[in-house]
Amino acid sequence: MKCPFCSSSDTQVVDSRNSEEGDAIRRRRQCNGCSKRFTTYERVELPFPTIVKKNGARVEYNRNKLQGSLSLALRKRPVSSEDIDASVARIEEQLINLAQREVASEKLGEWVMGELKKLDPVAYIRFASVYRSFEDVQAFADAIGDLLNPPKKSKSK
């Protein structure tokens, strides 16, 4: 593993632990060249489906892009990076459990909105305003109304 600070390949593992979700191994490493420490994560590499965009273009799933979207919506909000990582892991689990070769970007976007709704309502509204292309103030008001007054689940007999 190369050091991200000095690019030395002489690094050693100082500590290894399972992540809280149990889906990765967290390793603390120290560079023997510059003595700085950094963290790496070891995950199982699973085949993710191709994402089909609204215009029909097909792109490979990109974890960094998903994490970046969540982070952007949650910017300057009181949500920890661990909570963001857990949300990304839940979305990835849904992608894998779907067991399909292709997934529409709309479905992925809905999953992101579901995670943001649980994490932070302000971030949810931020993301929804861009994702759903809010045209006016009424669209914001409707989305806020849905947050404040979620639809009641009917009891089936």
Q: How many CB atoms lie within 10 A of CB 60?
A: 9
Give 157's pLDDT tier (boundaries 50, 70, 90). Answer: very low
Burial of 140 (0-12, 13-18, 19+ CB in 10 A): middle
Q: What is the pLDDT of residues 108-128, one digit of tens each?
A: 988 998 899 899 988 988 888
* CA–CA separation, 94 and 76 (whole Å): 27
Q: What is the identity of the amino acid at 74?
A: L
Q: 141: which 2 tokens?
A: 């008001």
Q: Measuring CA to CA, how many Å separate 98 from each of 33, 89, 128?
A: 45, 14, 23
Q: For residue 100, how far is the Cα from the chain centroid? A: 20
- For the beta carbon of residue 4, count every other beta carbon within 10 angstroms: 12
Question: How much is the pLDDT for 12?
Answer: 95
The domain segmentation of the chain, as residue ranges, is 10-44, 46-148
25-84 pLDDT tens trace: 999 999 999 999 999 988 777 788 999 998 999 999 999 999 999 999 999 999 988 899
pLDDT grade, residue 155 (50/70/90)? low
For helices 81-98 and 105-119, give the axis angle rounded to 10 degrees.
Answer: 140
79 or 138, which is more confident?
Answer: 79
